[in-house]
Chain A
């Protein structure tokens, strides 16, 4: 990786949507929109509501399915010279595995991020990510068919995220990324109705950052595999908190909506901070917390 900054799935499209604002090759990695075996229409509108220092969404994994991705989107992105990583989701261990197997055939996709933590779908998604058994079952099924680096994205909506991280490490994950969104709810008091079409949604943005930093810190202490940190990162300062907490790389999500050029600014800001503190590389500060 040329730098530790990647984009979070579902916030950066397939990268090309942001090509007017940033040179995609200046980003460490792009994690493209969640992909499932079959096409999904997603949830009804309204899917988004703003909240103090953040937002909730219940998009529900709208995508055209892995075959469409392989035939139509992959040719458009395969020559972008950065790590183009596919986020894979599903509703059973079998269809996670089938989807991953198809992506395994794509030469220029160096890794996948397995989403066992989407709070916005009825079947699958977070259901697998909230128990050690469920998480391990999906990772095992995918590990059998997927031969390249496997990152597993974890949900914060659990009692012990470190236990889930250990379970996916034991099942064969090469890295974990965290956190996915926090489940939340907003109510329209005049209508006495939830604002979002499925009542609840996943909360993201700077409001969730302290929760995310805490999760990264707990998981990094527990596992031996690399940790990718995300959740509310808006600035290089925020990113460095995650690195110190134990993340080897970070993802930027919601901030892309506020500043479509934020990724490169954060990458440059991390380098400036390292220079100012006499550090030669990111690895010198990963997990270097005085706690």
Chain B
């Protein structure tokens, strides 16, 4: 898929949570083709401490309105600076990068999409893709508390949503792998994006139930293009770049102890 460097325009800015900003970007020409699970590298202006671009997953692509959505968690100085953007500002992106999640493997397949924290972001785009291409996505989303659940209405508009919160304020209390859904239903495969401990425990569940499972990693990156070899993950094929060979990996290709 061809990659571009482009200045996109900030069309809307939303603050769904004190720690998050949702930027909806647009362009005068149609946005390039991308696949769910791919990411962008954003240039952060006005932050002297932020030298490198910031890799951000594609939250959603609204073709009808020519919008690319980035759901960004404010972690360090760079992402805090991105949260200061205003409608009409421009943002320089290198995109689309990496390989996304798996394309539909068979009609009617039941795919469990498990997300936690800001890791829910790419699952919205992927869930919509799966539904439009004849698969049956189901979301299982985890958060600390009810107020930390993001884009719930958007997820619900795509597919059934099951929730766990650590404090029990919404859905079932506990972690995603403790949800009763996992005892009741069998899935053809699982895709996960979230904190590493969560992905490891979902990978364990997948192995135990013999369910194919892919995870989306977020190792620290520099170039995003497979040139600098900084973001490597150990795999059965040796060290590979998360940016170029990932960010989505089959758990059988990783060397995680699951």
Segment at the B interface, from A77-85, A90-98, A256-264, A266-274: A256-264
Chain A residue at smallest Cβ distance from B244: A17
In the bound assembly, the distance between CA atoms of A277 and B45 in angstroms comes to: 31
Closest Cβ of chain B to A66, distance in Å, is 17
A-B contact count (CB 8 A): 88
Most buried by A among B43, B219, B230: B230
In the bound assembly, the distance between CA atoms of A41 and B4 in angstroms comes to: 30
CB of A42 within 8 A of CB of B239, answer yes
Interface magnitude class on chain A: 20 to 34
CB of A10 within 8 A of CB of B228, answer yes
B231 within 8 A of A: yes
CB of B227 within 8 A of CB of A48, answer no
Closest Cβ of chain B to A187, distance in Å, is 16
Chain B residue at smallest Cβ distance from A64: B238
CB of B229 within 8 A of CB of A257, answer no
B233 within 8 A of A: yes
Using Cβ atoms and an 8 Å threshold, which residues of chain A touch B53?
257-258
Using Cβ atoms and an 8 Å threshold, which residues of chain A touch B186?
none
CB of A259 within 8 A of CB of B5, answer yes
Contact code string A15-35 (vs B, CB < 8 Å = 1, else 0): 001101100000000000100
Using Cβ atoms and an 8 Å threshold, which residues of chain B touch A42?
229, 232, 239
CB of A13 within 8 A of CB of B225, answer yes
A47 within 8 A of B: yes
B2 within 8 A of A: yes
Main secondary structure of the interface of A (DSSP, over half): loop
Q: A20-B3, A52-B49, A258-B52 are known contacts. Are A59 and B229 too (CB-CB below 8 A)?
A: yes
A123 within 8 A of B: no
In the bound assembly, the distance between CA atoms of A49 and B221 in angstroms comes to: 9
B258 within 8 A of A: no
Q: A10-B229, A47-B229, A257-B222 are known contacts. Are A20 and B52 too (CB-CB below 8 A)?
A: no
Q: A10-B229, A62-B229, A259-B5 are known contacts. Are A48 and B220 too (CB-CB below 8 A)?
A: yes
CB of B51 within 8 A of CB of A51, answer yes
CB of B225 within 8 A of CB of A18, answer yes
Closest Cβ of chain A to B142, distance in Å, is 25
Q: Knowing that A41-B238, A50-B50, A257-B53 are A-B contacts, what are 19 other residue pairs whose CB atoms are under 8 Å apart, sorted by A's residue number?
A: A17-B225, A18-B227, A20-B4, A41-B239, A42-B232, A45-B231, A45-B234, A46-B220, A47-B229, A47-B231, A48-B230, A52-B51, A59-B230, A62-B229, A256-B223, A256-B227, A257-B228, A260-B223, A261-B5
